[in-house]
Amino acid sequence: MAIGRDHDRATLVACMPFGLALTPWLGLEAGLIGAGAFAFGGLWLSPDLDTQSKPLHRWGALRWIWWPYRRLVPHRSLFSHGPLIGMALRLLWLLSCSLLGWLLLQELLQSLLGLSIASPSTLAASLKTNALARPRMVLSVALGLEASVWLHLLMDGDPLPVEWHRRPRKRKRQ
C-alpha cells in the first residue's frame, strides 16, 4: 500500500501522459482539461479523503466539509475506493456542499446588502447548456477524475474494495 507522498508523485507524473493519451481522440484542449482533472482528482478528491490525509488537508479552511463524509464512509469500502461509485459519491457530496454554500451566500447577500446573485437553478441551467455544447470536455473531466482513482487503487496494490474479495467457501464434510 502506497503512502500519500507516493500517491501525489504518481498523480503529478501521470497526469500529463494521461492528457496526451486523450488528445488524439478528444483534441488538445480536452487533453489538457483531462490532465487537469486527473491532477485535481488525485490531489484533492482522493479515495483517502475519509482519513486524515494530505488530500484532506489540501482543502485548508474548507476541510470541515468532509467531516460527515469521513464519519459515514468506511476507509477502503465500496463507497470510498469503489470504481465509479467512489468518485461519484465524492462529487455528489461536494456538489451538495457547494449548493448549500451558494444558498447561504445568496440569503446572506440578500438580507444584509440587498444584493441578488444567480439562483442555483440558473447556475444549473448554465452548466447544463455548457456541458451539452462541449461533450468532449465533460468526457475528458470524467475520464481524468476516474483515471486518478484507478491509479490510486493500483498503487494500493488491490484495485477492488475490500467488500469485493471472494471469501473462501467452507467445504462440507462427508
| Mean pLDDT computed over 113-139 | 91
At residue 162, does pLDDT exceed 60? no
Give the per-residue pLDDT at 117: 85
Identity (one letter) of the amino acid at 51? T
Answer with the residue of higher pLDDT: 106 or 76: 106
Q: Is the pTM of this model over 0.75?
A: yes
At residue 35, does pLDDT exceed 70? yes
Phi, psi (deg, nearest 5) at residue 116: -120, 140
Give the per-residue pLDDT at 16: 97
- Residue 146: name the closest of 101, 98, 91 by CA: 91
Share of the chain above pLDDT 90, in %: 60
At residue 51, does pLDDT exceed 90? no
Kindly report the average pLDDT of the chain as a whole number.
Answer: 88
